Amino acid sequence: MPNLIKESVRGLESLTLEDLLFTNREIFLTTGVDSDTANMLIKQLMILEKLDSTEEITLYINSPGGEVVSGLAVYDYIQLMKAPVRTVCVGTAASMGAILFLAGQKREMLEHTRLMIHDPAYGGGDMAGKKPHELQMYVDKLKQSQEIIAGIIAEKTGRSLEEVYEKTREDSYFNATEAMAYGLATGIVKQTNSNRAFLS
């Protein structure tokens, strides 16, 4: 990753691209969601809010999704923040990536990006040798996660739970226009001539 040379009162300073974007209150989720990425995102959000609790923070998302618990930790923290958070889909925001996209007060998509929502799935482990009550525990946890995810989507889109469950039964993909119509996105960023235009 190249560094940028910036002149300051202390002379020439070398900044990474991440450092420069961070000073502009821009952070990124470009990997799967797990405990490490969740912890890093929460720390970045926490620092930026401490620096200024009124100025907007932009979270760019291009993620295949990941762990429900880790993703919900980030989602919940964003909902508690005083600083406004804008989320921008810059590729594909799928599964838990889409739920984190919904965390923003403003939710924008680039013209050719897409979202994907679905019910949570069992993420790992061997079911062989499990007793019925142990299998039921997994089912109950999945059901609980399904209800939480559906509740978030319903709240953010204004759709009924029945409509959401119908959509999340299978993998449901939305382009930017479809996401706007469904209520997932609040705006589309398009290129008009030489200028970037925001369509809401």
Residues taking part in catalysis: 95, 118
Structure tokens, 28: 């990124």
Backbone angles phi, psi at 24, to 5 degrees: -90, 10
Count CB atoms within 10 A of the CB of residue 60: 20
